Each structure stands twice: as C-alpha cells, then as structure tokens.
C-alpha cells in the first residue's frame, strides 16, 4: 500500500479509537448497573484497555507514516521499530483475544461478559465497535503493512509480562 494511503488509514483508525474510547468512558454514570462497575470501574475490563492500546498503536503508526513522508528517516526508524513491537506483541494478540473470547463467552452465556442490564446503557453500535471491529482492524493492518516481528522469546516474555500485570490488577 502506498505511504500516503497508509497515513490516511492510520490517521482515521487513530481518530476512530480515540472516539470509541471517549464514548465508552463517558457512558452516563447514573445509568450504569452498580454490580458491573465495582472495583476499578471500566478500567478493569480488557476491552477498555484494548481500546486505549489500539489508540496508542494507531497514533504511533500515524506518527511513523508522517515522519517517513517528511523524510525524517532517523527519527522514523525508532518509531517504526516501536510500532512493530507494539503491534506484534500487544495490539494484534490483545485485540484478537478480546474479540474471540468476548463473542465465544457471549454465545455460551451472555451474562458472563455482557449482562442484559448493559443493553440500556451501552448502545449496540458501541458494543460492536469495542468487541467486533477490533479484529477486522487488526487483520487489515496485517494485510496493509508488513511488520518486523521480534524474536519469539522476546515477544512471549513481553506479552507474558503484560498479561501478568493485567491479571494482577
């Protein structure tokens, strides 16, 4: 894909994830079921953390594209390597896990992941933006741009560390 097209895609994806993150964090607090948002509020959910992660990833991707367009190659190399590490170790695995695990559990017993009481609080489009759209965005990123992947050991250690931090939280 041409760099200017990629830049536009990364910019739009970045804006999309900022909008979705803003939308979910500004769900009216008086309508939230109290049993769903106990300790940690929305920040305990991997879905919300994934939205922030995707926004950061697409922001870094957009920055890398802009740096390449303005020929700041020295700066771009560092940002590109960070982007590739972020995508391959966190952004893709977490978005895939969020989407597949949510819809699998939802199909099995929706009350486990998305109680009926949330239907009146979180609109259907926002539910799909958080749990469905993340996977096609991740797959499109793989198809649109080649990434350099870290060594397996480094990637597994980093992903394991982040998973440990999340589980500890």
pTM: 0.89
Question: What's the gap between Cα 25 and its chain centre?
Answer: 15
Print pLDDT tens along the chain (169 aa): 677 889 999 999 999 999 999 998 887 655 555 555 566 677 788 899 999 999 999 999 999 999 888 877 777 888 999 999 999 999 999 999 999 999 999 999 999 888 888 888 888 999 999 999 999 999 999 998 888 998 999 999 999 999 999 888 7
105-115 residues labelled b (16+ CB within 10 A) or e (exposed):
eeeeeeeebbe
Residue 31, token pair as written in the block: 């309508």
**Residue 33 domain flag:** no
- Domain limits at 137? 5-26+42-168
**Residue 35 domain flag:** no
pLDDT value of position 164: 93
**Residue 73 domain flag:** yes
**Residue 34 domain flag:** no
pLDDT value of position 72: 72
One-character DSSP codes across the chain: --HHHHHHHHHHHHHHHHHHHHHHHTS-GGGS-TTTS-TTGGGGSHHHHHHHHHHHHHHHHHHHHHHHHTT-HHHHHHHHHHHHHHIIIIIHHHHHHHHHHHHHHHHHHGGGTS-GGGTTTS-HHHHHHHHTTHHHHHHHHHHHS--PPPPHHHHHHHHHHHHHHHHH-
User: Count of domains in the chain?
Assistant: 1
pLDDT value of position 137: 94
**Residue 156 domain flag:** yes
Q: Say if CB 81 and CB 148 are below 8 A apart.
A: yes
Q: Which residues have a Cβ under 8 Å from the Cβ of 92 and sit 6 or more positions away?
A: 138, 141, 142
pLDDT value of position 109: 94
**Residue 77 domain flag:** yes
pLDDT value of position 30: 58
**Residue 31 domain flag:** no
**Residue 142 domain flag:** yes
pLDDT value of position 108: 95
Largest CA-CA distance found in the chain, in angstroms, rounded: 52
As a whole number of angstroms, the distance between CA 133 and CA 126 comes to 10
């Amino acid at each position: 894909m041409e760099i200017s097209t990629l830049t536009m895609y990364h910019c739009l994806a970045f804006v999309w994830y900022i909008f979705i993150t803003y939308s979910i964090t500004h769900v009216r607090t008086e309508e939230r079921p109290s049993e769903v948002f106990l300790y940690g509020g929305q920040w305990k959910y991997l879905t919300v953390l994934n939205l922030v992660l995707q926004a950061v990833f697409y922001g870094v991707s957009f920055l890398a594209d802009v740096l390449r367009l303005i020929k700041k190659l020295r700066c771009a190399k560092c940002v590109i390597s960070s982007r590739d590490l972020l995508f391959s170790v966190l952004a893709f695995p977490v978005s895939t896990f969020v989407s597949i695990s949510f819809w699998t559990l939802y199909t099995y017993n929706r009350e486990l992941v998305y109680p009926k009481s949330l239907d009146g609080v979180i609109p259907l489009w926002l539910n799909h933006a958080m749990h469905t759209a993340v996977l096609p965005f991740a797959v499109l990123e793989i198809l649109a741009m080649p990434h350099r992947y870290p060594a397996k050991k480094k990637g597994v250690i980093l992903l394991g560390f982040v998973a440990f931090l999340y589980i500890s939280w």
